Amino acid sequence: MNPHLLTLLVALLFILVFGGLPMLRKERPSPQLAVEVLVLTSLSIGASLLTGFNLNPALFLILLYVIAMRCRVLIDLGNLLSSRGRHQPALSVYRLALQLAPDFPVRLMALISYGAVLVRVGALEEAVRILEGVLEKGEEHLQPKYESACHYNLGVAYMRLGRESRAVGEFNEAIDAWPMSPYARYAQVALERRQSTGHLASTGVSEGEEKDEA
Dump pLDDT digits (tens) for 38-67.
999 999 999 998 998 888 999 999 999 999
Last-in-domain residue among 68, 85, 114 = 68
> Is residue 34 included in any domain, yes or no?
yes
Judgement on whether residues 37 and 135 belong to the same structural domain of the protein: no
> Is residue 206 included in any domain, yes or no?
no
Question: DSSP label at 139?
Answer: G
> Is residue 19 included in any domain, yes or no?
yes
Judgement on whether residues 143 and 164 belong to the same structural domain of the protein: yes
Q: Assess contact for 79 and 113: CB atoms under 8 A.
A: yes
CATH number (domain holding residue 166): 1.25.40.10
Last-in-domain residue among 22, 48, 68 = 68
The packing angle between helices 87-99 and 104-121, to 10°, is 160
Q: What is the pLDDT of residue 2?
A: 87
Judgement on whether residues 149 and 184 belong to the same structural domain of the protein: yes
Judgement on whether residues 55 and 128 belong to the same structural domain of the protein: no
Judgement on whether residues 142 and 94 belong to the same structural domain of the protein: yes
Judgement on whether residues 55 and 87 belong to the same structural domain of the protein: no
Note down the domain range covering 143: 71-197
Judgement on whether residues 116 and 170 belong to the same structural domain of the protein: yes
Residue 143's pLDDT band (cuts 50, 70, 90): confident
Q: Which of 76, 118, 75 is nearest to 100 (CA)?
A: 75
Rounded to whole angstroms, how far apart are CA atoms 134 and 112? 7
> Is residue 210 included in any domain, yes or no?
no
Has residue 28 got a pLDDT over 90? no
What is the pTM assigned to this prediction?
0.85
- Please state which of the ranges 71-75, 119-123, 139-143, 177-181 shows the lowest mean pLDDT: 139-143
Judgement on whether residues 21 and 112 belong to the same structural domain of the protein: no
Mean pLDDT score of the chain: 89
Has residue 24 got a pLDDT over 90? no
Rounded to whole angstroms, how far apart are CA atoms 6 and 12? 10
Last-in-domain residue among 68, 86, 101 = 68
* Count of the separate structural domains present in the chain: 2
> Is residue 212 included in any domain, yes or no?
no
> Is residue 47 included in any domain, yes or no?
yes
Contacts of 51 (CB under 8 A, 6+ apart): none
Q: Which of 112, 115, 113 is nearest to 123 (CA)?
A: 115
Residue 54 neighbours by CB distance under 10 Å: 17
Q: Quick one: average pLDDT of 82-106?
A: 96
Judgement on whether residues 108 and 182 belong to the same structural domain of the protein: yes
| Residue with the larger pLDDT of the pair 121 and 202 | 121
Number of H helices, E strands in the chain: 10, 0
Q: Residue 210: what residue type?
A: E
Rounded to whole angstroms, how far apart are CA atoms 25 and 74? 21
Q: What is the pLDDT of residue 205?
A: 60
- DSSP one-letter string for 145-199: HHHHHHHHHHHHHHHHTT-HHHHHHHHHHHHHH-TTSHHHHHHHHHHHHHHHHSS
| CB-facing half-sphere around the CA of 69: CA atoms within 13 A | 17
Q: Quick one: average pLDDT of 105-116?
A: 95
Helix (H, G, I), strand (E, B) or coil at 143: coil
Residue 35's pLDDT band (cuts 50, 70, 90): very high
> Is residue 15 included in any domain, yes or no?
yes
Judgement on whether residues 60 and 90 belong to the same structural domain of the protein: no
Rounded to whole angstroms, how far apart are CA atoms 87 and 111? 14
pLDDT per residue over 162-203, tens digit each?
Answer: 999 999 999 999 999 999 999 999 999 999 988 888 778 655
